[in-house]
Amino acid sequence: MSDAVTTVGTLYMLNTCPFTWKVRALLDHLNLPHERVQVNPMKIKKSVSFAGDWGKTPVWKMHDGEVVVDSTPIMKRIDEVYNDGKLSNSADLARRDEWIEWADLHMKNATIPILYGNIRSALNTTRSVSRHEKFGLLTGRLYAWAGFPIMWGIIARKRTKNTGMNPKQLWHHLLDQWTVEIGENSFFGGDKPDLVDLIVYGYMQSVEMHPKAFSQVEEHEAGMAWFQRMKVAAA
Ligand SMILES: N[C@@H](CCC(=O)N[C@@H](CS)C(=O)NCC(=O)O)C(=O)O
């Protein structure tokens, strides 16, 4: 980013973190010039220690020094300060909050299983993550090859345990719910995307960067039609 452009703040992030993708979706949609600091996944706590004991990504530091943590509150704050809260505004606040909660619970819980839900996709994903993140050379390799049985065996299985669905079925089920809610409209927000659209879009983009995993999501026609509309609207 050029020095001549005044930035609105700095995003401390991981390239593959779904919560980081949510905030990126908003910043890109509003076309706000900002800095991005890619932290080492093994040193998150230290890298964001200025945000107290939060210890996670993303963290947002506003140009005036204000620090905001947690992806949805970060999105709301950026929208409030730089966009008069227009994306968060809704004629039906209860509906908005219900679907933010839906996305931050169900989309979040579906993300790990689609990436790591079987041993092959787990290996693909840890290798892909090690390429996309700024690990040290050795830890990156170690993560790629030693991380996948852990992600697959422990983490992904735990997340799908209660749904009775495999990771692909779970995504298709969620995209059914999402596209039914959107109905005849182009977006959740009506004819334009709103904050909820951008939250769901962010979760989906975090899967899209791992093409093998995303190919399972891509089979959902209505979901992908919305996703493509988001790409156009966000460009
Ligand atoms: N609710 C938080 C979750 C953030 C989060 O869990 N980030 C992960 C990376 S994707 C992290 O930093 N984990 C480190 C940890 O929990 O110690 C948000 O939406 O921002």
| pLDDT above 50: residue 140 | yes
Bigger pLDDT: 194 vs 138: 194
Cβ of 115 less than 6 Å from ligand 1: no
Per-residue pLDDT, averaged over 111-136, amounts to: 87
The pTM of this model reads 0.92
Q: What amino acid is encoded at 26 in this protein?
A: L
Please state whether beta strands 9-13 and 59-62 pair in parallel, antiparallel, or not at all (unpaired).
antiparallel
**In this model, does residue 121 exceed pLDDT 90?**
no
pLDDT tens readout for residues 82-120: 999 999 999 999 999 999 999 999 999 999 888 888 778
Domain 93-234, CATH: 1.20.1050.10
Helix axis angle for 167-182 and 108-116, nearest 10°, is 140
Residue 146 neighbours by CB under 8 Å, 6+ apart: none
Q: What integer pLDDT is reported at residue 155 of this predicted model? A: 72
What are the residue boundaries of the structural domains of the chain, listed by start?
9-83, 93-234
- List, as one string, the DSSP characters of 100-144: HHHIIIIIHHHHHHHHHSSHHHHHHHHHHHHHHS---HHHHHHHH
Contacts 24+ apart (CB under 8 A), 92-99: 96/194, 96/195, 96/196, 99/181, 99/188, 99/196
Q: Are strands 67-69 and 35-38 parallel, antiparallel or unpaired?
A: unpaired
Question: Pairing between strand 67-69 and 59-62?
Answer: antiparallel
CA of 57 relative to ligand 1 center, distance in Å: 5
Q: Return the residue whose CA atom lies nearest to atom 6 of ligand 1.
A: 56
Establish whether residue 19 lines the binding site of ligand 1, counting it when its CB lies within 6 angstroms of any ligand atom.
yes
231 CA to middle of ligand 1, Å? 25
What fold, for 9-83? Answer: Glutaredoxin (3.40.30)
Is the shortest distance between the CB of 196 and ligand 1 below 6 Å? no
